[in-house]
Amino acid sequence: MLPREPGAARTARAAVENWLASAPAAVRDDARSLVTELVANAIEFGRPPIQVRMERKPTYWLLEVADVARLRGGA
């Protein structure tokens, strides 16, 4: 869970970088950009807490960012 503060994007980006340490450079670059943008949007437009979920699948990596409204099934 991330707080609704500017440093949250940096925290999420660091977690994604660590999680994808063995991934190809292009995947790491794309994931860093995506998580930064999604967390920034959740901070600006969502409601805390903000959750980042990362999961490795056999053929892809799943990266999901949600705020409390999304977590509770809201719009």
- What is the predicted pLDDT for the residue at 74? 56
Asked whether the beta carbons of 68 and 49 are under 8 A apart, the reply is yes
Q: Chunk the chain into consecutive blocks of 10 residues (it has 75) and report each block's average pLDDT, rounded to whole numbers.
A: 81 93 92 93 86 91 84 57
